[in-house]
A and B are shown apart, each in its own frame.
Chain A
Amino acid sequence: MKEITAKIQETAARLLTEGRVDIFIGWQKGEFGYNTKPFFAHSPEEADKLVFDEYSIHNLSNALLKFRDGHQKIGIVVKGCDSRGIVRLLEDNQFKRERLYIVGVCCPGMKDPLKKMYQDSGFAVQVNGDAELADKCRYCIQPNPVIYDELIGEKREPRLPEDRFKEVKELETKSYDERYQFFEQVLSTCIRCYACRQACVACNCRTCIFDETRPQWVGRETSISDNMMYHLVRAFHMAGRCVECGECERVCPVGIPLMLINRKLIKDVGEFFGPYEAGMEYKEGAKPPLSVYREDDPDDFI
């Protein structure tokens, strides 16, 4: 990790000095040692603050949305999953490739600083899963950046559990009532903070349907019907678009199993329209499934 950090600092300093980029997005150390956080370097001097360590988990591609209307040139560090986020933005026409200088890092797998913070807080927050390896990394199908200008490190093998869709299949075998009950139970605890949406690179609509007030499509009560409506709509909007970066589930303060929903979508899109994995390569003009409109579509509605 030390070498990676050194390379990133060197690249960032060079790009900032040469004026190739105006801002360089990476990570910096946090106050507690393990709470590494996003960092935006604006000058070559600030490049010294950049780090890459086992807690560099955030999908920084989401931060590009802040700059989508500007003209700044941006340098950004991406891991495998994050790079798929960049493809998402390019395919969705949210960013121009020319404005980016992408530094790819072949990812060794990350730990989740949020989990570590919870554990350390003394609060009664349940910490699910493996504290050593973040949940999202256990399912990683692409640790190596799929789009970059510069690559750091040796390519790595995907770290897939034997059956990536095991939990999804288990759920699929349940009866309609059991599934309804299951979703009712897990979604009833959603506090509708929309952090899952904010953390998501695929949630890049300028005005989100949940923020529309005239008309208001989805009610703002934390009731099971409004909660389900929120999650159903978001699921539909993620089908074929989710790049499996796991940020939504990671940031959810109440531990809603969002990746279970996302993996079901991934499985279905793969089976019905695939084989297809979102954001695995960028071809200019390529149209992913479910993002094309054709007048002669055999279905007359969505």
Chain B
Amino acid sequence: MKVFKRAKLEKVLDKLSASYEVHVPMKRGAQSGFFDYRTYNADFDELVLDVLNVLKPPKEAVFPQTEKMYSFKQEGQDVIIDKVYENEDKRIVFGMRSCDLMAISCLDDVFLTRGYVDTFYKKRRDNTIFVANACYSPGRQCFCDSMGVNPVEPELADVVLREYNEGYVWEIKTEKGEEITALIADLLEEKDVNLPEPKGCTLKVDYEGVDKKLKGMFEHPMWERFSEPCQTCGICTYTCPTCHCFDIQVKAWGEEGYRFRCWDSCMYREYTQMAGGHNPRETAKERFRNRFLHKLEFFNERYGKPLCTGCGRCIFVCPSGVSIVKIIEEIKGA
């Protein structure tokens, strides 16, 4: 096996950063997320590769919260698009967990399949390499193995890191993985190490058949009851690695401006606000129901997997104690 010692981690990141934008899990002030290693400042930031995961999901590497699309100018009668901002920076997301990788696979389904390719997404995605970090000790709110995710065998990974007592195993999975391995070859050594026994998740839920069952549950009273505490704050969707709704907006001054897209959320009133004032999802109930039906029913119907990978984020960020696991159990029992 190829391995590198823990003490060499920063060297590995330095080397990769010479040719790539490397997004690593960091604690930055009160925030935690994947940030560009080149912006790492030892005074404020802490590298947290060895803790379970970070709050802000790595989807930002391929689907940023705010993304400029194109700028335009008015010339006489015409509108000229003078620049399209497709991002082709070479990038590595380093230390992603299985749940977050499966989430990327969901985003791929949405942005790249079924007859429409989103070029903004595709450009980023084609230039992104994933170095996964296998999970041997899931956390209290992790339930990925109930949602078709294997915590120690991440999908889509180009390289898989496996933490052992002295450092990390570097397991190459794809050609892209080979490419970046060449950059750090002198930091790797050959060694046989003992890996820990995978623990599996303690939080379990039975998703089997939930998608089918939901077909007949649009009018079920549970939506009314379970949405009661929901404040429609949207934190659950902004921190979810799979949520991908966006809005396209414009900033313009005088004769010029630009269009950008920005994350949006089905938990917001404005999301379904129509011209003329009608809103089909006026209250928390309709919005809450939509969130769960999309995740557990509609997405599955279209792409054959749920739009929840069991990362657990929405469970511990919800100020009102709403839990998707509880909702799945409730659907099962209904």
Contact = CB atoms under 8 A, between A and B. Distances in A.
A62 interface: yes
B51 A254 contact: no
Given A121-B141, A123-B53, A193 B316 contact: no
Contact of B235 (A126, A186, A213, A253): A253
Interface in A90-129: 113-114, 117-118, 120-126, 128
A289 interface: no
B29 interface: yes
Nearest to B251: A219
Contacts of A189: 28-31
A243 interface: no
B251 A30 contact: no
B238 A121 contact: no
A124 B53 contact: yes
A35 B251 CA distance: 42
Interface string A63-84: 1001000000000000000000
B48 interface: yes
B54 interface: yes
A186 B229 CA distance: 29
A255 B29 contact: yes
Nearest to A195: B233
A194 B138 CA distance: 30
B90 interface: no
Interface in B27-66: 27-32, 46, 48, 51-56, 65-66
Given A114-B319, A193-B238, 8 more contacts: A32-B140, A118-B316, A126-B27, A193-B234, A193-B235, A198-B231, A199-B231, A199-B319
A122 B31 contact: no
A63 B239 contact: no
8 contacts: A120-B139, A123-B51, A123-B52, A126-B31, A191-B238, A221-B251, A222-B262, A254-B55
B30 A126 contact: yes
B208 interface: no
B319 A251 contact: yes
Interface residues of B, number: 57
Contacts of B48: 124
Interface stretch (B156-164, B172-180, B320-328): B320-328
B25 A222 contact: no
Interface stretch (A11-19, A37-45, A264-272, A276-284): A37-45
A15 to B, nearest CB: 18
Interface string B299-319: 000000000000011011101
Contacts, number: 152
Contacts of A126: 27, 29-32
B25 A124 contact: yes
Contacts of B317: 114, 117, 253
Interface in B11-37: 25, 27-32
B321 to A, nearest CB: 3
B290 interface: no
Contacts of A31: 323, 325-326
A136 interface: no
B239 A253 contact: yes
Contacts of B56: 191, 254
Contacts of A38: 228-229, 320-321
B89 interface: no
Contacts of A123: 32, 51-55, 139, 313, 316
B270 interface: yes
A36 B229 CA distance: 12
A241 interface: no
Interface in A192-208: 193-195, 198-199
Nearest to A250: B319
B247 interface: yes
A194 B269 contact: no
Contact of B30 (A63, A199, A254): A254
A211 B251 contact: no
A169 B76 CA distance: 55
Contact of B316 (A39, A58, A120, A216): A120
Interface string B273-308: 100000000011000000000000000000000000
